[in-house]
Amino acid sequence: MKNSTKTLKTFAERFRAKISLDTATGCYNWTGGRASQGRYPIVGVTGQAPRYAHNIAWEIANGRPVPRTKPSDGSRRWEVHHRCQNRACVNPDHLLLLTSKQHTKAHQKLREAQKAEAALAKMTALDDQAA
């Protein structure tokens, strides 16, 4: 366990070098590689399959790995969600650990909010035409 903490630290230093701060949003934008699917930021880890950069950011900030155990709500796994909705972001303050069920729900809510906003924008546009 001691060993893995040490690896995480030197890794954290390399990790920090690939972040560019967006002062407007507070997002830490990942300047390294992106997954071809979903465009999520990925990181090559020596001796391991590439991993999502935002998961690693969460792990560095929390000092523990994203749980590999099955959540008690019947979800498939634990996932790290972007509260800022910026997939390239690796700012731990913008990240939230959720079960896959909670995560799906969070995105459903976001989509509904976007739909409501789009509908409202349309109504406003009609209003403008009527005026």
Which residues in the 7-46 window bind Zn ion by CB under 5 A? 27
Q: C-alpha distances in angstroms, 107 versus 54, 89, 95, 101? A: 17, 16, 14, 10
Which of 55/86 has CB closer to Zn ion? 86
Which of 5/108 has CB closer to Zn ion? 108
Which of 83/122 has CB closer to Zn ion? 83
Instruction: Write the interaction track for Zn ion spanning residues 52-91; mark x where CB under 5 A is met and - where it is not.
Output: -----------------------------x--x-x--x-x
Whether residue 51 contacts residue 42, with contact meaning beta carbons closer than 8 Å, is answered with yes
Residue from 61, 129, 47, 121 nearest 90 by CA: 61
The encoded tokens of residue 90 equal 């690796």
Is residue 94 within the footprint of Zn ion (CB under 5 A)?
yes
Whether residue 69 contacts residue 77, with contact meaning beta carbons closer than 8 Å, is answered with no
Query: For binding to Zn ion (CB under 5 A), which residues are involved?
Result: 27, 81, 84, 86, 89, 91, 94
